[in-house]
């Protein structure tokens, strides 16, 4: 995600940049110390996804700036505010600002809110892609030209369910999310082809089959397959860690968060979840090298949950 920061306090901008970069939340592509230095064209050129802007600033405050930007700027807006004036906050809501970070800034609050906004953006993209595909199918049905019947196989529905679950876990957009969806596709086909088989396939076999499909069986040799399998495993591990980190952040901010309650114990080991939560509470950046990622458990649960939902 690409961020643009607007605040007349340089220390606040520096703190936000540090949090965004330290926790791999995205990239800060621009800053301004006043609302008058920002316009929709600048944000468009910089392809900004999320604007973080202070409510009270000299020359042009956050409300005035958002009012100027909103007709054109389609990204998400997070408002920084030390003020609890209900009328001002109400005006911000009317303009489309639904996310607030209160001052003085709390690191955990910033992380939690930004992750929620990022997840919302990614989920919107998933829904938008699904709608586009449906529109294409509808337009093909209307056409008089004979077309192949749309594929409504178990694989396609399980992929859609998998995309939804990965979005819920804050993992859509990570490099390994595509690998996880390909693994779901393989597992669904495997189950259809081996209906009497009750054992879950070995993780190594899943990686190999996905790697072969990606490389192309005829053009791949054992060395390339082994290399791709290893790369795939590393991407998946990093992506699962992102899901662990995301849920832990939700749990630290609100232990009764519905997503945390539903998914935390289901997809992850409690001891690992608790360890990451403690690190976040102590402002220690969790590290994947210090975490025990149970890939097989995650993939198995993801597959079973996707089957239940499609």
Give 148 or 172, the one with higher predicted confidence. 172
The string of DSSP letters for 68-134 reads HHTTT--SEEEEEES---HHHHHHHHHTT--EEEESSP-HHHHHHHHHHHHHHHHHHHHHHHHHHHH
Query: What distance in Å separates the CA atoms of residue 69 and residue 58, rounded to the nearest whole number?
Result: 17
Residue that wins the pLDDT comparison between 39 and 216: 39
Q: Per-residue pLDDT for 135 more than 70?
A: no
pLDDT by residue (tens digit) across 73-131? 989 999 998 766 566 667 777 777 868 888 888 898 899 889 888 887 877 776 666 66
Note the Cα 240 to chain centre separation in Å: 12
Q: Give the distance from CA 260 to its chain's centroid.
A: 15
Contact in structure between 64 and 91 (CB atoms under 8 Å): no
pLDDT tier at 294, thresholds 50, 70, 90? very high
Q: Sorting pLDDT into bands at 50, 70 and 90, what band is 134?
A: low
Highest mean pLDDT among 4-13, 99-108, 198-207: 4-13
- Domains of the chain in start order, with CATH, are 2-105 (3.40.50.2300), 151-309 (no CATH)
Compute the distance between CA of residue 29 and CA of residue 4 in angstroms, rounded to an integer: 6
| pTM given for the model | 0.52
Tokens found for residue 215: 């490389």
Instruction: Give 249: exposed, middle or buried? Use CB within 10 Å, 0-12, 13-18, 19+.
Output: buried
């Amino acid at each position: 995600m690409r961020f643009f920061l607007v605040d007349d306090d340089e220390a606040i901008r520096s703190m936000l940049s540090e949090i965004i970069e330290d926790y791999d939340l995205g990239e800060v592509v621009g800053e301004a110390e006043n609302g008058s230095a920002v316009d929709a064209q600048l944000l468009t050129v910089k392809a900004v996804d999320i604007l973080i802007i202070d409510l009270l600033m000299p020359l042009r405050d956050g409300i005035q700036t958002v009012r100027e930007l909103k007709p054109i700027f389609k990204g998400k807006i997070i408002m920084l505010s030390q003020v609890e004036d209900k009328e001002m906050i109400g005006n911000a809501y009317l303009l489309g600002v639904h996310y607030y970070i209160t001052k003085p800034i709390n690191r955990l609050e910033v992380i939690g809110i930004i992750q929620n906004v990022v997840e919302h953006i990614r989920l919107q993209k998933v829904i938008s892609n699904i709608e586009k595909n449906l529109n294409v199918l509808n337009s093909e049905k209307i056409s008089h030209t004979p077309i192949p019947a749309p594929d409504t196989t178990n694989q396609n529905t399980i992929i859609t369910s998998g995309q939804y679950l990965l979005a819920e876990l804050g993992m859509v957009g990570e490099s390994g999310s595509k690998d996880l969806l390909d693994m779901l596709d393989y597992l669904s086909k495997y189950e259809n082809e081996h209906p009497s088989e009750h054992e879950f396939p070995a993780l190594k076999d899943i990686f190999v089959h996905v790697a072969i499909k990606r490389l192309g069986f005829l053009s791949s040799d054992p060395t390339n397959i082994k290399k791709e399998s290893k790369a795939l495993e590393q991407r998946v591990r990093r992506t699962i860690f992102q899901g662990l980190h995301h849920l832990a952040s939700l749990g630290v901010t609100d232990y009764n968060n519905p997503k945390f309650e539903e998914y935390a114990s289901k997809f992850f080991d409690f001891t690992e979840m608790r360890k990451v939560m403690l690190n976040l509470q102590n402002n220690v950046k969790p590290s994947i090298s210090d975490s025990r990622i149970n890939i097989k458990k995650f993939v198995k649960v993801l597959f079973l949950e996707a089957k239940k939902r499609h």
